Structure 1
């Protein structure tokens, strides 16, 4: 039997990766390359779109060379990407008019305030499923149109295109320069009507974004065009934003199933079925995936800083050399930790949505050392997840039986055990924690007939199931202190 592979391109916030997935759904190879993070001002985060493209193409080529893959052996390509990060480019030259503005960027906070004062808050929630926040793509496009010389006229003349990173990759990878996105990425822009599945005229007008800039929106499993490799056309047939791809990769297909991804940020999604469910508790309503003519929705809670807090311990504070050291440091502290770290470096996401909150450390005493701070930073990831789960259970009226986890930090046993303890719920860690890349691969493979959706759930062996050990009193006491710490971080940067 000839070899058959799916290529998964995983374009993340700090690196570009390419993974080779065989016909049994097993990863046979991976290449990764980090790229530069650009911080022009406090609260601003940018990427060079050309570096994103070149790094993604380089890892793809390196993977194919390393694994000696022939073009005829590649059935399809799936793409998953950092969401909300936005590129505006000239469709004639192909050149970006400005750097990509990253999802973490806070520069459009004042645009968001103006939208709120314009009375658009309810419209945004009921139409796009989101809250008005600088996190999403729409205000990033407006900022570029308003602040980069000459681009507003170009946009009015129909010469500019905008897109999330998936669109930027597809446009560059297809000979015809196809301008597409999928439902999941469109649902993160704050300008897409997730109920009627179309771009929202009211928000486009409010932000001054011409419709000519927008990509066509397709289901998550669809034909987005072909990538030519050694004169062989390979279909790009699956696209999903990274968190929805992880939900799909974790086989969260039934209503009430949920996953948490511990990446640069931390993202918890719960499948709510084929009807959108709008939150009363500051959660987002988003499209989970579009497949076989149907759309599934999800509730989502976003934690902006998760793995990035571990990076801060390493690069900013220089308390550790490698992320893995945090587990040993955390275990070296006996009993309860008196220190609490609130890593609100980019404001607070769900359920607080405070753009002006800033990070802080509480409970410092003379004997506090780096082990206490490392332990508290890990615990902060678990506490923030509990904040979201509380809101999710209240909105959905579904009590979580277990949480499916993935992402780099889920390899940390201390964090996973503390997560189970503070949630009072089992935490299921699969053997393959590359759920995001696998989700994109599965969507692409389903589209070209390699797999059925039912195959995915049958091929998820568990690595470990963490069971809660805390009693109710201890869990309540620790969480109450966390809530107190969060309250003291709110509104720090807000003008008087």
Structure 2
């Protein structure tokens, strides 16, 4: 390791359900953790919002708690890493940083009609060709357009630079630096559907299409640095003034960095509210079969951006929360209840509560339960909810096999739901290859901590495999006939949800 004074990296992971944080010392040990939950609001059917003020309080609360723990332990915080939820968008005052709108979530569906019209027009191919992403309300562009249509219909204020529109990373960078940094990180920017995936620049044609003035957008920054690129903290409760913000990543990108240490060849699946499968793509494989192209990160030392392939499953943990509400329990209760399901039961839940994301990208699909009989009860419904995550990941991984031109050797898994051993065992059986579960649940925070530490000289890339906590491996034991039968049952259920079967 590099010869530096002993210190620690403070990593913040701002997600949909809350903000988590880690304090990672030079030897790789996580010596402190903190968490603040967040809620979502649903003002109209299909709308999903969060309160920016509550989000900011969660970030500062976690930062303050970790800084206090560091002070008590006599640990010096040398830099900050920030991992964030992606695609969610808001408008703020570029002078004060005050939010002028709710945060419109990546789950929000209010622009579904606009996206459907774009998909059916020549502009649909233009958007996907330039950005690598399917036209879908998940991404930021149509939501940013919607917000500006309400706040600044003429675009006069946006054109004059009196409004800023962007994603969570850009707003938090503004707030963390007291307004000194007006930037969005490369990987997060690539998820807005306003950036050319080929060169990581705002696309003028797309800005015109969505009527978003370039003056309303932050600059696109690298993912790491020693403070010059991303700025320094200013007036953040509990944090020292001038602490370098050494890395910013989207949450899924941060998980990929933690799992792969920046090296190609690793396919990871992050299970959360939704799920994301991602792999670096230095070979330039063309996206197909519901898999999108994206930018993983842009390290200052490398110059250019690292390209990746990603598939976004719309509902993963959402299925658990739905079942918990239906059955009057919580997520832990669903996991416990699922154990009691009859072994012979093959009930499938297709959690298309807002349509399906990858690999089908069919927002007209509808949620349903398939395979019930007279003996189906709460335990079988609970198990179907848990298993829906594994089926969706297996279905999507098969598309990666096709795009990458060969079978992926193993799947790296992370995220809260992966703590369920039965889910991980089923995942291995359904894909017919090993699943390696991450050694810690806070993988996004760990990934951005590693990137920040390498930028600051705390670690070299070669150190990262030794620092990473050892995970748990789940092997496949069932034969191909069992796997094919279960996957066929799942795909039949999906076909019903999509109206392809009766």
| TM-score (norm: length of structure 2) | 0.93
**Structure 2 residue 404 is the aligned partner of structure 1 residue 396:** yes
**Structure 2 residue 87 is the aligned partner of structure 1 residue 84:** yes
**Structure 2 residue 241 is the aligned partner of structure 1 residue 232:** yes
Q: Partner residue of 1:296?
A: 306
Q: Partner residue of 2:349?
A: 341
Counterpart of 1:77 in 2: which secondary structure? strand
Tell me the number of residue pairs that the alignment of Structure 1 and Structure 2 aligns.
489
Q: Partner residue of 2:338?
A: 330
Q: CA deviation at 1:354?
A: 1.1
Check 1:90–1:461 CA distance in 2 against 1; reply closer, same or farther (3 A cut).
Answer: closer
Check 1:491–1:456 CA distance in 2 against 1; reply closer, same or farther (3 A cut).
Answer: farther
Counterpart of 1:479 in 2: which secondary structure? helix
1:165-191 deviation per Cα after TM superposition (whole angstroms, max 9, x unaligned): 111111011134311111110110000
1:32-72 deviation per Cα after TM superposition (whole angstroms, max 9, x unaligned): 11122110111100011121112111121122224435998
Counterpart of 2:376 in 1: which secondary structure? coil
Q: CA deviation at 1:491?
A: 6.0
Among 67, 73, 77, the alignment partner of 1:74 is 77
Q: CA deviation at 1:309?
A: 1.5
Q: Partner residue of 1:161?
A: 164
Alignment of 1:96-245 (within 5 A): 96-148=99-151, 152-222=155-225, 223-228=229-234, 232-245=241-254
**Structure 2 residue 460 is the aligned partner of structure 1 residue 457:** no
Counterpart of 2:298 in 1: which secondary structure? strand
Q: Is the 8 A contact 1:277 1:285 kept in 2?
A: no
Q: Distance in 1 between matches of 2:494 and 2:29?
A: 41
Q: Partner residue of 1:267?
A: 276
Q: Distance in 1 between matches of 2:259 and 2:240?
A: 35
More strand by share: 1
| TM-score (norm: length of structure 1) | 0.94
Among 37, 53, 64, the alignment partner of 1:61 is 64
Counterpart of 1:278 in 2: which secondary structure? coil
> 5+ unaligned residues in a row in structure 2: which ranges?
none
Q: Partner residue of 1:482?
A: 490
Q: CA deviation at 1:79?
A: 0.5
Which stretch shifts more, 285-294 or 35-44? 285-294
**Structure 2 residue 286 is the aligned partner of structure 1 residue 278:** yes
Q: Distance in 2 between matches of 1:288 and 1:6?
A: 21
Counterpart of 1:349 in 2: which secondary structure? coil
RMSD over aligned Cα, in angstroms? Answer: 2.0
Which stretch shifts more, 458-467 or 54-63? 458-467
Counterpart of 1:233 in 2: which secondary structure? coil
Counterpart of 1:95 in 2: which secondary structure? coil
1:7-33 deviation per Cα after TM superposition (whole angstroms, max 9, x unaligned): 111100010122211112221111111
Q: CA deviation at 1:164?
A: 1.0
Q: CA deviation at 1:378?
A: 1.1
Q: Is the 8 A contact 2:134 2:292 kept in 1?
A: yes
Which stretch shifts more, 217-226 or 477-486? 217-226
Counterpart of 2:353 in 1: which secondary structure? coil
Q: Distance in 2 between matches of 1:327 and 1:98?
A: 37
> 5+ unaligned residues in a row in structure 1: which ranges?
none
**Structure 2 residue 98 is the aligned partner of structure 1 residue 95:** yes
Q: Is the 8 A contact 1:246 1:435 kept in 2?
A: yes
Q: CA deviation at 1:381?
A: 0.4
Check 1:156–1:310 CA distance in 2 against 1; reply closer, same or farther (3 A cut).
Answer: same
